[in-house]
Amino acid sequence: MLVNETKIRVYYEDTDQMGVVYYGKYLRYYEIGRTEMIRNLGISYKQIEDSGILLPARSVKINYIKPAHYDDLLTIRTIVDQIPKVKFLIKGEIYNQNNELLNEGEVVLVFFNGKTNRPCKAPEVFINTLKKHFI
- What pLDDT is recorded for position 135? 72
Q: The domain that contains 96 carries what CATH number? A: 3.10.129.10
Angle in degrees, CA 68, 69, 73, rounded to 5: 75
> DSSP states of 27-43 as a string?
HHHHHHHHHHHHHHTT-
Catalytic residue among 16, 50, 71, 81: 16
16 is catalytic: yes
Record the pTM: 0.93
Q: Name the CA dihedral angle for 63, 10, 23, 33, rounded to a multiple of 10 degrees.
A: -50
Which residues, 6 or more positions from 32, have their beta carbon under 8 angstroms from its beta carbon? Answer: 6, 8, 76
pLDDT tens digits in sequence order for the chain, 135 residues long: 999 999 999 999 999 999 999 999 999 999 999 999 999 999 988 999 999 999 999 999 999 999 999 999 999 999 999 999 999 999 999 999 999 999 999 999 999 999 999 999 999 999 999 999 887
Number of domains the chain contains: 1
Q: Which domain holds residue 57?
A: 2-131
